[in-house]
Amino acid sequence: MKYIALVFCLFISAAAMAQPHQHPQENNHHHGVHTSAIGIHGMALFAVDGQFFASHMPLANSIHSHQIIFSIEVNATALEQMQKLDREQTLLSIVPERFDLVALMQGKLTEFRADVYRGHFERQGKKQLSEVIIKVDKILLSESLSHKENGFFYHIPLNSRYALAVHRISQLPSYDQILLLQNSEKLAKENLSNTRLQLIPLADQQPYSPQKHHPQLPKGYMIKKQLYLETQDFQVR
């Protein structure tokens, strides 16, 4: 009888050990609304008119399922090195220390440390700077991933001359694309002060391409260049 009880206990222990390991912070959500999202949140870096911006690299159906873009500030030494890298016309990315993405979205996280990479940090990128203090200046976009139609872009004025067009990542397969818009006519101050987020149709199921798409842009704007494009992370698996 003791032998049978021992076997039964061992069976129960083995079954418990077979359960998949879960990270509590990755499951602390309800219907897609996360109350915390602690992890390593990789980001793309780009500069417009001398100002650097960070764009969170989202992943669907995870704690990373948010599009967040914000302007940043760094010290003079780091800024000089980042500007030099930016002039090489290559992708820059950062790997921050672990933090809560929800705290960033809520404006509670004001700075963090990050390593700066030439290229994509997960795809043979090369580390260039270590533990740079990144100060969060202004959050320009903070939206959950959508399940709506692809091809619509968030229109985000930066100053009287430039704006961003950021694809609203939607139903998979989708893509993360950021375009730089240039205004031939300087925007009126009242337009810059309009904080209402606008969507403009620029493409479709495929990323914007000047050969394929000929959208009607907001008055005075032209597409100057592409700042970022990611398709691999948004395929149906």
pLDDT at 13 (0 to 100)? 39
**Pseudo-torsion of CA 59, 141, 40, 27, nearest 10°?**
-60
pLDDT at 34 (0 to 100)? 61
pLDDT at 191 (0 to 100)? 60
Measured CA to CA, the distance from residue 233 to residue 175 in angstroms comes to 8
Q: What is the DSSP secondary-structure string of 19-63?
A: SPP--GGGS-EETTEES--EE---EEEEEETTEEEEEE---TTST
**Pseudo-torsion of CA 64, 69, 72, 77, nearest 10°?**
70
pLDDT at 146 (0 to 100)? 86
pLDDT tens, N- to C-terminus, the chain (237 residues): 444 443 334 333 333 333 332 333 343 433 345 677 898 999 999 999 999 999 999 988 778 789 999 999 999 999 999 999 999 988 999 999 999 999 999 999 999 999 999 999 999 999 999 999 999 999 999 999 988 999 999 999 999 899 999 999 999 999 999 999 999 877 655 566 666 789 999 999 999 999 999 898 888 899 999 999 999 999 987
What are the structural domain ranges in the chain?
A: 32-145, 146-237
pLDDT at 35 (0 to 100)? 76
Q: Tokens 């030439």 identify what position?
A: 118
pLDDT at 184 (0 to 100)? 81
Measured CA to CA, the distance from residue 65 to residue 62 in angstroms comes to 5
